[in-house]
Amino acid sequence: MRIISKILLLYMALFVGCYHDKEEELVPCTADTSHVHYAPEVTSVFTSYGCYGCHVGTAPEGGISLEGYTAVKKLVDNGRLLGAISHAPGFAPMPHGAPKMSECDINIIKAWVNAGAPDR
């Protein structure tokens, strides 16, 4: 009986307690999206996902540059920024080879775009 109890306890500890939660369900987004600007909010999102590692410099990946406001605004105007980060059909999903950005971070960028993508 003791062996069965130990096996049952081990099973419960290993399998019953293991499940996957979404970050948004555990920690709700508290970002203020009422006044989002390029810097610091949008640039902070890009930095946190390592976007600048691939999309700055003389030969940015895929020819997509995030170097400076003017370059990012072009991606806003042609729809490529939101298409890529929201994983919309027909767009290369970003960040490449990594999980999708959190809905909170996507909402920060969407709020910025919907406000006209202000520089300041």
Residue-range domain boundaries for the chain: 22-114
Q: Is the pLDDT of residue 10 over 90?
A: no
> 88 with 7: CB under 8 angstroms?
no
Name which residue leads in pLDDT, 120 or 25.
Answer: 120
pLDDT of residue 26: 56
Q: Is the pLDDT of residue 90 over 60?
A: yes
Span 54-79, average pLDDT: 96
- Enumerate residues 6+ apart whose C-beta is below 8 A from 82: 76, 88, 109, 110, 113
Q: Computed from CA positions of residues 69, 82, 51, 108, in that sequence, does the dihedral angle turn out positive or negative?
A: positive
pLDDT of residue 68: 96
What is the token pair recorded at 59?
Answer: 């030969």
**Unique residue bearing structure tokens 């293991």:** 18
